[in-house]
Structure 1
Amino acid sequence: MPDAAPRLKGLVEQMVGAPLPLRIRAWDGSEAGPPTAPTLVVRNRRALRRLLWKPGELGLARAWVAGDLDIDGDLYTALDLLAGIVWERGEDARTLAQALRDPEVRSAVRGLLRLAGPPLPPAPPREEARRPRRHLHTRSTDRRAISHHYDVGNDFYEIVLGPSMVYSCAYWPAPDSTLETAQRDKLELVCRKLALKPGQRLLDVGCGWGSLAIHAAREHGATVVGVTLSQEQAAYARKRVADEGLTDKAEIRVQDYRDVRDGPYDAISSIGMAEHVGAERYLEYATDLHRLLRPGGRLLNHQIARRPQRDESRYEVDAFIDSYVFPDGELQPIGMTVTQLERAGFEVRDVESIREHYALTLRRWVANLEADWGRATQLTGPGRARVWRLYMAASALAFEHNRIGVNQVLAVKTPESGMSGMPLRARTWN
């Protein structure tokens, strides 16, 4: 009689010391667990070997990406429930070592090893990037990291992002608004915060597929230079600019922001790009942007932030994100971002948290992906599509639960006269 699921349920509960909140369906067809809960589908024994070899986030991610694990039921509910039984990120080795001192845990591990069977360990899925020992953030490593994430295929991104082709947090007038409306409102918000006027020069750092460059040129009469490290993004953005008849107003370059030399600019936007800069390079990033602005020019820095830790020296990047999504990416608390911008010479004038907006945005992206799943897997492969579904759904929950946030920081290169040019009443953005 098939019994893998009840055996697995019992061993996991013995290990974690609590009831398993998910239902399990095992490779032999057996099921166990709460009948109304989402079902964790364990397709083969290899899934157990992945989790035993990397007991935590990375092992779970490898099993998911390879298709060894799946969820039958609401993905968001399942991820919330799983979060309570996965080893704490950044604490895997120490937490497991402490847990193994318990005879019950050791007995459960032995039982799981017998159930998993040989061999150990399975090779990581091919979608996993090679992780450097440390985050170098040289021009070459940044270029490779950007290519891993953004050169997946423009057709795939069209499915996920929709017609707006904006890959950053939208700005929602209401939860039931369309994604396209919310993204247009975000682009307009950025332009108003920068107080763009006809003829002014805007540098868009990390310009993506050109949406902000087009909006700023078409709606505000700005002359825009957009820079990206992604060849695919640049080709797509250039075609969009040409189709809009804006080639005299918007230029798209494949260029590192550190190599831009044609300042000064009246304004700089950096939307969802600074997460790739790295903590060690952040002051250099801020200093370079300060150098490129004219006195009185404004910077709008839109960036995801993590929560600060009591001991920052022990902070470790998310293993799944670093291996499968944003190799070499780093988040830092908003306080560190503001400090580094001011160290570079900026005067920070406004910080707006739009955390809930990103949760709404991510849920729409997941819905877009799921609605065209068959074509998405044809375009990029099932493993890569599974990476994206997991990463976006988990990120939506992280924003909803206040584990991470996103902020727009408006800063000014204030002239020696001290006249910032900002309105007396904040957030009128005139």
Structure 2
Amino acid sequence: MADAAHRLSELAEHALSSPFPLRVRAWDGSEAGPPGAPALVLRRRRALRRVLWKPGELGLARAYVSGDLDIEGDFYQALALLAGLVWDRGEPDAGNGLIASLRRTASTVRDPANYRLARQALALAGRGLPPSPPPEEVRRRSGIAHTKRRDKEAIAHHYDVGNDFYALILGPSMVYSCALWETPGTTLEQAQFAKLDLVCRKLGLRPGQRLLDVGCGWGSMVMHAAEHYGVHATGVTLSAEQAAFARKRIADAGLTDRIEVRVQDYRDVADGPYDAISSIGMAEHVGSDRYRAYARTLHALLRPGGRLLNHQIARRPLRDEEAYRVDGFIDRYVFPDGELAPVGATVGWLEEAGFEVRDVEALREHYGRTLRAWVRNLESSWGEAAHATTDGRVRVWRLYMAASALAFETNKIAVNQVLAVRTAPDGTSEMPATRSEWLS
């Protein structure tokens, strides 16, 4: 009798002491759960083994990336429901979810009820060793985090997966950071143009100035600044594929006399001083232990009166900062060694390095909308994207972008533009006195 879905739902409800909020469709064709809810589809028993062997978001992610598990219905609604079950960050309610219940069950199997629950779950999963992680997962890393070698490897994992793949997601702008949505009818291209222009205006760019773009990606910022503000721009990236793509775009636009793109670590840039530095979506790769050195390096590369625009994702502060740990799925599949810090910490580190912070602007809601636009692009070109990389890679990007959109929308994470200036020895900054003046 096909009843795996009913048994799974009952086990989940027993662990939660409340109804399981999603429908369940199992490998034997059975279904159970609330009508109309998104469905968690376990295509193979191996999906359950992945979750049992690695309880938490990493086990679920491995099951989804491998195709052993799928989601039907509203993807965002399903992720929002699952978030309440698997989210475990050391927060006050971390012990109330399904995964916490499974862990408690595993640690107290001598209790007759818990023993039966564990036996039933293992029986449903079937015999077998822990399934191997999908090939898209980063294998064990060695050495100290955020050395130049290890940072280059981490960047290659995320960015050197194919320019064609990113073009399908990002669209013609090739901008991989939060856009600025000024009106309800704004397109993704218009929103990314508006963001780049906002950065240029905050930096006060003028013809003939020197701009350094740290983590230049596919060259969109340096091209915008050179074309619309007449600067001479240098972009640095650790991704060889990004650099090759950017150089071709620059050549096609006839801007090679004003833009240089290097495959170079920001720590090796030695041709300052620059009039302005932009760092857009790069500082998340620096690491908390290295951030003071990052800030000092950028400060030293600016002339007195030069400005820095640091555009960076931030996490919420924790009561005990020592308890912070990187998201397991993100670290293994998306941004190896990536770290988020609260915006207050970022501002403090910049000030310690000698910067005067002049403005902080939050763009949290804009990133949720940007990510949803990227998810739509990916879903509408799934076959092409899978051909450009792998089906597993497409699943990774869909999962991480959709989950990130929800995280921004619910204020789990944020994104901020911090404008700072290197003041002259006498304290002057060359900054206009009001925001309206330096944004004009």
Q: Is the 8 A contact 2:15 2:102 kept in 1?
A: no
Distance 2:26 2:144 in 1: 39
5+ residue gaps, structure 2, are none
- Tell me if 1:160 matches 2:163: no
Distance 2:104 2:32 in 1: 29
Tell me which residue corresponds to 1:304: 313
Deviation sequence 1:29-74 (CA, Å, 0-9, x none): 1100011001111001100100001110100010010001101101
How far is the alpha carbon of 1:427 from its aligned partner?
A: 4.5
SS at match of 1:253: strand
Distance 1:109 1:398 in 2: 32
Distance 2:139 2:175 in 1: 28
Distance 2:52 2:18 in 1: 19
Tell me which residue corresponds to 2:85: 85
How far is the alpha carbon of 1:109 from its aligned partner?
A: 2.2
Tell me which residue corresponds to 1:219: 228
Distance 1:375 1:316 in 2: 35
How far is the alpha carbon of 1:95 from its aligned partner?
A: 7.0
Q: Is the 8 A contact 1:175 1:360 kept in 2?
A: no
Q: 2:388 aligns with which of 366, 379, 382?
A: 379
- Tell me if 1:259 matches 2:268: yes
Q: Is the 8 A contact 2:16 2:101 kept in 1?
A: no
- Tell me if 1:111 matches 2:120: yes
Tell me which residue corresponds to 1:75: 75
Distance 1:95 1:28 in 2: 26
Q: Specify the code of the residue in structure 2 equivalent to 1:359.
A: G
Tell me which residue corresponds to 2:178: 169
Distance 2:282 2:125 in 1: 42
Deviation sequence 1:307-356 (CA, Å, 0-9, x none): 01000111110000000000010001001100100000000000000000
Distance 1:135 1:21 in 2: 42
Distance 1:107 1:401 in 2: 37
5+ residue gaps, structure 1, are none
- Give the structure-2-normalised TM-score: 0.95
Distance 1:17 1:175 in 2: 43
Distance 2:154 2:26 in 1: 36
Which stretch of the first structure deviates more once superposed, 233-242 or 111-120? 111-120
Count of residues in correspondence between the two structures: 430
How far is the alpha carbon of 1:299 from its aligned partner?
A: 0.1
Q: How do 1:362-377 residues align onto structure 2 when only pairs under 5 Å count? A: 362-377=371-386
Distance 2:364 2:136 in 1: 29
Change (3 A) 1:13 1:213: same
- Tell me if 1:403 matches 2:398: no
Q: Is the 8 A contact 1:14 1:105 kept in 2?
A: no
- Tell me if 1:178 matches 2:187: yes
Q: Is the 8 A contact 2:55 2:103 kept in 1?
A: no
Deviation sequence 1:189-238 (CA, Å, 0-9, x none): 00000000000000000000000100000000000000000000000000
How far is the alpha carbon of 1:417 from its aligned partner?
A: 1.5
Distance 2:58 2:436 in 1: 42
Q: Specify the code of the residue in structure 1 equivalent to 2:66.
A: A
Distance 1:131 1:307 in 2: 28
Q: Is the 8 A contact 2:179 2:367 kept in 1?
A: yes
Tell me which residue corresponds to 1:30: 30
Q: Is the 8 A contact 2:57 2:86 kept in 1?
A: yes
Tell me which residue corresponds to 1:14: 14
Q: Is the 8 A contact 2:285 2:339 kept in 1?
A: yes
Which stretch of the first structure deviates more once superposed, 167-176 or 208-217? 167-176
Distance 2:204 2:434 in 1: 14
- Tell me if 1:282 matches 2:270: no
